[in-house]
A and B are shown apart, each in its own frame.
Chain A
Amino acid sequence: MNAGTRLGVVALSLLVMAALVATGCAKKEVGPSKGQNVDTLVVAMGADARSLDPHATNDQPSARVMKLVYNRLMYQTEDLKIENDLVESYNAVSSTVFEFKLRPNVKFHNGETLSSNDVKFTFERMIANKAPAAFLVAALDKVEVIDALNFRMILKYPFGPFVTHLAHTATSIVNEKAVTAGGADYGRNPVGTGPFKFVEWKAGDSITLAAYDAYHLGAPKAKTIRFRFIPEDANRAIALETGEADIVYDVGPNDYKNLDAIPEIDAKRIAGLTTFYMGFNMAKKPFDDVRVRRAINLALDVDTATRVAFEGFAVPAKGPLAPTVQFADTSLPGYGYDPAKAKQLLAEAGYANGFKTSIWTNNNPIRVKFAEIFQEQLRQVGIECAIEIMEFAPYLDRTALGEHDMFMLGWVAVTGDADYGMYSLFHSTQFGDAGNRTFYKNPKVDELLDKGRVSVNPEDRRAAYAEAQKLVYEDAPWVFLAFREDLNATRNYVKGFVPHAAGHHNLYKVYNE
């Protein structure tokens, strides 16, 4: 290379740098109002939906889209009250028979009018297809059509939270004709009665919905909604910051502080419905001994761990139910942090020199963080534990089989009802996959949970759940960790966004100003 070319190379690199600096100076600021595509609301969430057929899946990203495409018979408000949705009125004829009357003139996106037959078809299909969320309507015996708008639901046994379950996105009402027409690909061509109709699905990238102008409550405010899938927490936050997204779901705790400090961004934190816990495998020694379980509860500084793991965006848990859940007992005292007493209890149980064990978790960063903190704190009382991180599917399988020692998991009481929040986790008929991975068995608790489930009187239910929570607290099948807050954020030109504690937010009246 001669002197000339060398000079050329130097000049070129200087030019590139200059261009970078220049573009940097001219950086596009995203101001208080959305410059372009005002009609499109861009929502960023962490994962792609699996299917938009409510009977094919029960995952959160799908539920968030289905919430907008479909309606349910009942509607769960942002403060977890149950109201009528597609139903105009209903009454309980007996503890096992409900009569419903549909709103008239509700049209599906394909032009069909909603009728009792669609309701019957929906629930029969849900059960026949063995939908992943079919357990929600396990109590349902049959749906009887009275006429086009009136129908009757008959239960096999009294079930307190039944009507609440009819607000779950998995019980969305589908149209028989559309389902038949869609065939095996119905999950990609969903037809509902909701405020937005399905337009396009770019696998792994985005789902686009358009306003359904004939929506029975009036056309929605936004013309188009585009859900984008951005798996990395930090990148979702960045997308909001740069204006690539208007709303971001599930903001990471650390990003929340950054976003909150930006004047053009409204960061919203609300109490959630999720309980984080570390369970003991009570079918195994030494966790069959209540003294060991209590000792570990005492050996762990849960408050500090929660503050660190959630960056302050969670409330340390004292019992099994988040305070937002109906019938949660907020008066339980919690175990507190007392390593000396922990050691004493361990000695009483015959483990004065500690023991070796393990903490299992899936690779959720917050759970791993808790596990790492606990590993170190348990080391202080002589308990050596290994951390086993595995993928979610094998993790659920192996904990259901009881191969674990201690394990980290969360439970979302989606319906906001104590039955959903406790039955699967603590009833002895629910061992393994159903949810009771601690293999906890207390006949008195079983009895109370059954009572809470079948009785229709709220005060009876409250009393049963209060006692059940107290017993669970004393038996300590878990280390009660934290109730996570739900963190979401929007650009401040987004109007009308009210987050829902269960995570599926209603965007019917949300728009860019």
Chain B
Amino acid sequence: MSIVLPGENVPAQHVNLKLGPGLLQSTTSTSSDASRPSIIATRAGTLHHSANGAKWWVESNSRRYVPAAQESVVGVVTHRAGEGYRVDIGTAHPASLDALAFEGASRRNKPNLKVGSLVYARVSLAHKDMEPELECFDAQTRKAEGFGELKGGFVVRCSLKMSRDLLDPSHFLLPLLGGRFPLEVAVGMNGRVWISAKEVKQTIAIARCIGEVDTDGGGMGIEGVKKLLDSLDV
């Protein structure tokens, strides 16, 4: 693991190379050997790669979300526009969600989302010159796979690093909370986490734990979270 800065050359070489967030294949090759493409970092952070060296990415923390295809996000419907919806997912431009991109939706039977509804969706199109597009189903199987409107609950905002950590199965927070009381969570990669529990104080406890564990908010460890939960009486 090493730290890279934007513009720095990255020694990523593989026959089947896949570049993740924060890396770019530069078009004007600066390396002396033209057959080897030069890879540069576009973000500051720590450089990671998979065990066989085929996948490379840069880990860093930020608050503003930049959409990337196939990432799941939590968004708020801000407008109804003809055949679809405008959804705020925290990006520079609002995303569009087609009314037919839901499980079982047809011309006759379309979902009815109100302005202000929450949706859990997947980014289907993310291009630097176009507005991001969302979908609430798997385009191949046409099944919802957990996507769709989120009813009830509450939304917590956190840093992008925190939302990635919550998706990591080895992270301690969600199993710890789940051991204390039943809860539902939908983690968006855009730094928004939808949470739902039976009681109001349990939901508040989840929201506060996420805020405290977030490296932006204090970076509390597992012992601290246990103490906090005890003090909140949940």
A and B from one assembly? no
Question: Chain A interface (Cβ within 8 Å of chain B)?
Answer: none
